Amino acid sequence: MPILLSILMLLGGALTGQAAIQSRPVEYKHGDTVLEGHLAYDDAIAGKRPGILIVHQWMGLGDYEKSRARQLAEMGYVAFALDMYGKRVRPTDAREASKPVTALKSDRPLMRALASAGLAFLKMQPHVDTTKIAAVGYGFGGTGVLELARGSAEISGVVCFHGGLDTPIPAVPGDILCRVLVLHGADDPFVPPAEVLAFEDEMRRCGADWQLVAYGRAVHSFSMPGAGNDNSTGAAYNEKADRRSWEMMKQFFAEVLE
């Protein structure tokens, strides 16, 4: 009887169009560099739908980004968590992570090119409506999506979660073609007030359509449960800021991907 019941439940799900999230690693390339990202979508949805590009934090593509990809797939998007480091480059500690992060922050054109390679892969997916794409990034990845925007990416919007806001190649009028949402920890010691003000001035000067929301009592990595809860370290999870910023992102998507 339990076996029969399971079969009936599966059949019932199929008949009612129950969500079936497909989530898997996928390979792609930037030049000769092999990269491995993670693709997630609901195959119970017919036709094309908006795509969301996810750029990982400084420890590289991991379970956190994959879980966010699944959440976005459950919302009806095609989500692709890209790889900025290379297929076999998965840092295990801060010392290892500092090498690729430093290299990419010192070479913003390469950072933009790697983000663009992930965007190109997402646009190739058959279920994606290429006229409705947004990018989200966390920490280092937040910096990455802002560089993607500064590089004139043809997408609808970018969302930066607790990312660095500085750049050696600031945008000028006409550079940013998409809308920009920055979700910032008001007490983030790694992104001090002077950097925030410089970013705001850059956005004004280049004429971007932008928003910056600062969350009180939140520091770096506020959306990441794995960051712990000690604000004195400079990076810590904040449940309220996590929940509020996710809702802000959803409102932003409703506007730019409509």
Residue 104 CA neighbour count, 13 Å, CB half: 23
pLDDT tens for each residue of 35-59: 999 999 999 999 999 999 999 999 9
CB 144 within 8 A of CB 115: yes
Q: What share of the chain is helix, strand, coil (3-state, %, to 5)?
A: 40, 25, 35
The two structure tokens encoding residue 74: 């459950």
pLDDT tens for each residue of 197-248: 999 999 999 999 999 999 999 999 999 999 999 999 999 999 999 999 999 9
Instruction: Decide if 1 is inside a domain.
Output: no
Instruction: Decide if 15 is inside a domain.
Output: no
Q: What is the pLDDT of residue 179?
A: 98
Pairing of strands 49-55, 210-215: unpaired
Instruction: Decide if 16 is inside a domain.
Output: no
Rounded to whole angstroms, how far apart are CA atoms 134 and 8? 39
Instruction: Decide if 10 is inside a domain.
Output: no
Instruction: Decide if 45 is inside a domain.
Output: yes
Q: What is the pLDDT of residue 188?
A: 98
Instruction: Decide if 13 is inside a domain.
Output: no
CATH number, residue 156 = 3.40.50.1820
The domain in which residue 35 lies consists of: 21-256
Instruction: Decide if 53 is inside a domain.
Output: yes
Rounded to whole angstroms, how far apart are CA atoms 199 and 190? 14
Beta bridge partners of residue 78, listed in sequence order: 51
Instruction: Decide if 92 is inside a domain.
Output: yes
CB 198 within 8 A of CB 173: no
The count of structural domains within the chain is: 1
Pairing of strands 33-42, 78-81: antiparallel
